[in-house]
Amino acid sequence: MAPITREVLRDYLHDALPDVELAAVERAVRASTEVRALLEEVMAQEDRGEHTVGAIWRRERVSCPTRDQLGGYVLEAGDPELLEYVRFHLEEIGCPYCQANLDDLKRLRQ
């Protein structure tokens, strides 16, 4: 993997890296006090207390379905339009937060 730069850490914070790179950054953060310090700097810089609609939207995950809605998606139960939105959110948008929740729900269902 390439060196851990501020840009890589910004992408890491925004879940904008491929899974292999995300894992590599997480290992580097655990192993290196220098990388942890740089991550803290980037986090402080990224969270400037912005109150724009976009910043609040991302921070609060406004477009993410609830865990109950994801559960309905797993069971293929509920409003068809909502199920289609959840599918779009997971497959087209590729939200890593919701994908992790979905994987957890599927694992619990087994």
Instruction: Please report the sign of the dihedral spanned by the C-alpha atoms of residue 107, residue 72, residue 80, residue 57.
Output: negative
For 68, phi then psi, to 5°, come to -65, -40
Residues 6+ apart with CB under 8 A from 42: 6, 9, 10, 13
Q: Please say if the pLDDT value at position 23 is more than 90.
A: no
Q: For the chain, how long is the longest CA-to-CA vector?
A: 49
Question: Encoding tokens for residue 24?
Answer: 């590599």
Residue 75: pLDDT band by 50, 70, 90 thresholds?
Answer: very high
pTM of the model: 0.57
